[in-house]
Amino acid sequence: MSKNLFFGGLIVAASGLLSPPLALVAGLTYGFTFEHPYHLDARKLSRLLLQVSVVGLGFGMNLQQVLRVGRSGLIYTAAGITFAMLLGWGLGKLLAVKSRVSFLISAGTAICGGSAIAAVAPVTHATDEEIAVSLGTVFALNSVALLAFPAIGAALHLTQTQFGLWSALAIHDTSSVVGAAAKYGVVALAVGTTVKLARALWIVPMSVGTALIEKKKAKIQWPWFILFFCLASVANTYVPVFQNAYPVLRHLGILGLTVTLFLIGTGISKRTLREVGARPLLQGIMLWVVVATGSLALIRAGWIHL
């Protein structure tokens, strides 16, 4: 029975019927309930599929538009990411969160949620448990933001430009930024999506920098998939002859990430989560609250603007 349920869940995840967060929940439900029949094989597949999926997501980026917005906010974007990473490191130390989990949560909060975690996790040699905890934390907060942000924006009478900018800076994943901004208005959607994609470019220096640091500790496996992620975004921008294929490839990247999350979830048991504890979630919440409230205050004061 457990084998049938495993393959059934795998098929449903690959079909696109489940969102990435739901796929993770489905995988965790399986992992809590059954003994995994293919634990080692699923772990190997999930790591490879995670990297391939990151490459697929690159086909959704238009470099010209993203770089134009990125240049206008280069200083406060760099400052914001640096602040979030340092604060995340400090909170992780304070709460005694394992260093790799703390780093993944901080990177996901600072840059672009699950995509950033997916990119830097292989570079840090994070375990499936560490990846699952980090992604679970980010996706839980994403769900809260998707529901709460439009209501907060309306209550504070934010303009559409302000709301789009705030969503891009304070919501983890691009998909949730799109969802929240779309509820607020067309302008908010355009601003939020573009700024978030510009922020996502920081995946590259973050991954390369992490690789250089990790090299001091062990023989490094260079993040080849980051190079292909960049090439995919270049192709999407400058090679229009294949423009009909790019949305398909991006969609395959999303499906790959969904399947990966299901596989990772199936490998997590009650025992492994008990070993991790609630501290990573607390770190993620505290870091996110500071980033969200701080960016909102700076946007309303006019310090951060387009």
| Residue-range domain boundaries for the chain | 2-300
Q: What is the mean pLDDT of residues 114-133?
A: 82
* Structure confidence at residue 285 as a pLDDT band (50, 70, 90): very high
Residue 294 has pLDDT above 90, yes or no: yes
Give pLDDT, residue 218.
Answer: 45
**Residue-wise pLDDT tens digits, 130-140:** 887 888 788 77
Give pLDDT, residue 261.
Answer: 77
Which is more confident, 128 or 145? 145
266: Cβ contacts below 8 Å, ≥ 6 apart: 6, 9, 27, 28, 30, 31, 36, 42
* Structure confidence at residue 172 as a pLDDT band (50, 70, 90): confident
Residue 295 has pLDDT above 90, yes or no: yes
Cα–Cα dist 45/244, whole Å: 28
Half-sphere exposure of 111 (CA within 13 A, CB side): 22
Which is more confident, 238 or 74? 238
Residue 221 has pLDDT above 80, yes or no: no
Cα–Cα dist 177/182, whole Å: 8
**Coil, helix or strand at residue 217:** coil
pLDDT over 90 percentage in the chain: 22
Which is more confident, 256 or 103? 103
Give pLDDT, residue 223.
Answer: 54
pLDDT over 70 percentage in the chain: 88
Q: Phi first, then psi: what are they for 164, rounded to 5°?
A: -60, -40
> Burial level of 152, CB count in 10 A (0-12/13-18/19+)?
middle
Cα–Cα dist 215/125, whole Å: 11
* Structure confidence at residue 220 as a pLDDT band (50, 70, 90): very low
**Average pLDDT of the chain to the nearest whole number:** 82
Residue 216 has pLDDT above 70, yes or no: no
Cα–Cα dist 2/302, whole Å: 56
Q: How many residues does the chain have?
A: 306
Cα–Cα dist 55/223, whole Å: 11
Contact (Cβ atoms closer than 8 angstroms) between residue 73 and residue 195: yes
